[in-house]
Copies of this chain bind each other. A is one copy, B any other.
Amino acid sequence: MAKQNITPRAEDYAQWYIDVVLQSKLADYAPVKGCMVIRPNGYGLWENIQKTLDEMFKETGHENAYFPLLIPESFLKKEAEHVEGFAPELAVMTHAGGKKLEEPYVLRPTSETIIWSTYKKWIQSYRDLPILINQWANVFRWEMRTRLFLRTTEFLWQEGHTAHATFEEAEEETLKMLGVYRNFAENFMAMPVYVGKKTNKEKFAGAVTTYCIEPMMQDKKALQAGTSHNLGQNFAKAFDVTFQTKEGKLEHVFATSWGVSTRLIGGIVMAHSDDNGLVIPPKLSVIQAVWIPIFNKDNQEKITGKVKELTQTWKNEGIKFKIDDRDNYKPGWKFNEWELQGVPLRIELGPKDLEQNQVVIARRDTNEKVAVSFENVTQTVKNLLVTIQNDLFTKALNFRNDNTFVTDDYKFMLKKSDEDNGFYKIHWCGNRACEDNLQEMGKITIRCIPLNNEQENGKCIVCGEASKERVIAAKSY
């Protein structure tokens, strides 16, 4: 079998990533700076991500809505930290219908401002709370350095925006959605994550607290994969959104927001794929099993007929499969193609298999092949899909654990991280200066302060001041 034309990870990880994304037809470059075209293979993955998350959002009481893309420039300026954070990367529309606009509009970098200007109309009393709204939308952040899926000037995401009567309720919502993200990352993306709080330096512009999920990629860097923010009363104050409490007092409303984006697709690629192309967890695969009947003109009908017979119940059983019975491509070419596209299981059925009442099933993740009798094929496929999903998670977890270091030795960390990235559990005093030092010395950031973190007395790895707990530090995307 011919190998794919993909740069090996060991040779050039960044190029490997681009090769996999382009050659597996997840995405293509667009004729617009920093934008991409999400091709059907990539969009199908996004649809599965959307469907799964959307069900989770609805089960937790949220409804979808849609707010305008365009935001009056003045809205952004109403929350001081928010505008400071987003101003450098705004895309601005100045003309429409042949005329210059009186006030420019920005293309939403995130929707807190337009949504809270609207919530002002909808919220008067505690009876109007909570509001639990999510939106699926495109957003714009004019970044200088872009990378397919990981950082593009336009990307697709969901953004939840909720309104509550108390800080505690908002905090509960923030953590609930963080839990949804964790569940999704670990149980669907098969991607173990550290879950915790961002430092003040790293939090969302306008948030009181930002929580995040942080998985390790195969190059041992971190990917910020999802964030959930307790916004306190910051946006309610900026847009003067008050409500009458049960006791008849007037108070500002409490807010949360939370989001994940098409960046998750980049995460799937970087967490599981290999030098032969994509590896996709079965729960998110558009095609879970591809049948490749091996035939010539004489036995084509008999062999593809058998495949159809064997898969008769599969649609009802929820197995997503495809029969690749094209006769203008050879089996070897097809093997390659579906390997590149990351389909978890390949099932071969040739004339000899037919004689022996068996098929051959090959796993994408391990390359293991097994012959299975016709009567056992459906159950074996079902079992293997579960096994692969679990194995991918375990493999990623072991990889992360093997590359996470508990250390108090700054020199060791800088050297090791410079050579080979990795996650570091370090003591940190809580001061911005030491955080800046980590970044200057080793491009290392504090990814999160883990939730329910073990308390342990120690000394800041940079300055030696007292610390009560370890944080997760790493280079990141």
Whether B91 lies near A32 (C-beta < 8 A) is: no
Which of these, B64, B107, B142, contacts A40 with CB under 8 Å? Answer: B64
Q: Does A18 sit within 8 A of B, measured CB to CB? A: no
Q: DSSP majority for the A interface?
A: mixed
A318 on interface, CB distance cutoff 8 Å: no
- A37 and B89: CB pair below 8 A? no
Q: Which listed segment binds B: A3-11, A67-75, A269-277?
A: A67-75
Interface assignment of A360: CB less than 8 Å from any CB of chain B: no
Q: Which of A114-122, A228-236, A338-346, A407-415 contacts B (4 or more CB under 8 A)?
A: A114-122
By a CB distance below 8 angstroms, the chain B residues around A153 are: 96
Please tell me if the beta carbons of A95 and B97 are within 8 angstroms of each other in the complex.
no
Contact residues in B for A66 (Cβ distance below 8 Å): 37-38, 43, 46, 156
A154 interface hit (Cβ, 8 Å)? yes
With a CB–CB cut-off of 8 A, which chain B residues contact A98? 87-88, 90
Q: Please, which residues of chain B bring their CB within 8 A of the CB of A42?
A: 65
**Contact with A47, one of B32, B64, B107 (Cβ below 8 angstroms):** B64
Measured in the bound complex, the distance between the Cα atoms of B41 and A315 in whole Å is: 33
Instruction: Check A93–B90 contact: CB distance below 8 A.
Output: no
A30 contacts chain B at the CB level, 8 A cutoff = yes
For chain A, residues 1 to 52, give those with C-beta under 8 angstroms from any C-beta of chain B: 28, 30-32, 35-40, 42-44, 46-47
Query: Which A residues between 125 and 160 are near B, CB-CB below 8 angstroms?
Result: 127, 133, 137-138, 142-144, 153-154, 156
The listed residue (B30, B87, B117, B143) touching A31 by CB distance below 8 A is B117
Residue from B28, B65, B91, B97 within 8 A of A121 (CB atoms): B28
A258 within 8 Å of B (CB atoms) = no
CA distance A3 to B66 in the complex (A): 30
A254 at the interface (CB under 8 A from B): no
Query: Please, which residues of chain B bring their CB within 8 A of the CB of A423?
Result: none
CB distance from A243 to the nearest CB of B (A): 16
Contacts of A94 in B (CB 8 A): 92-95
* Residue from A32, A87, A107, A142 with most neighbouring chain B CB atoms (10 Å): A32
Measured between beta carbons, the chain B residues less than 8 angstroms from A32 are 68, 70-72, 105, 114
* Contact in complex: A154, B31 (CB < 8 Å): no
Contact B93 A64 (CB under 8 A): no
Task: Check: A366 CB closer than 8 A to any chain B CB.
Answer: no
Contact B118 A30 (CB under 8 A): yes
Nearest B residue to A92, CB-CB:
B95
Knowing A68-B35, A117-B31, A118-B28, the reply to whether A63 touches B90 (Cβ < 8 A) is: no
Contact with B along A315-333 (1 / 0, CB 8 A): 0000000000000100000
Residues of B within 8 A of A95 (CB): 91-92, 94, 104
A90 to chain B, nearest CB (A): 7
Contact: B118 with A67, CB < 8 Å?
no
Interface digits, A195-219 against B, CB 8 Å rule (1 contact, 0 not)? Answer: 0000000000000000000000000
Q: What chain B residues lie within 8 Å of A64 (beta carbons)?
A: 40, 43-44, 47
The minimal Cβ–Cβ distance linking A35 to chain B, given in whole angstroms, is 4
Q: What residues of chain B lie closer than 8 Å to A89, measured between beta carbons?
A: 97
Q: How far is the CA of A97 from the CA of B144 in the complex (A)?
A: 8
Structural contact, A154 and B68, CB atoms closer than 8 A = yes
Are B93 and A31 interface neighbours, CB within 8 A?
Answer: no
The 18 listed contacts between A and B (C-beta, < 8 Å) are: A28-B118, A30-B68, A31-B75, A32-B70, A32-B114, A37-B68, A39-B65, A40-B64, A46-B66, A47-B64, A69-B69, A69-B154, A88-B97, A92-B94, A92-B96, A93-B107, A94-B94, A96-B142
> Contacts A43-B63, A93-B93, A96-B153 given; 15 further ones with Cβ under 8 A?
A30-B118, A32-B105, A36-B68, A43-B66, A44-B64, A68-B154, A69-B107, A87-B98, A88-B98, A90-B96, A90-B98, A91-B93, A95-B104, A97-B143, A127-B328
**Interchain residue pairs A-B with the least CB separation, the first 6:** A40-B63, A97-B142, A35-B68, A38-B66, A92-B95, A96-B142
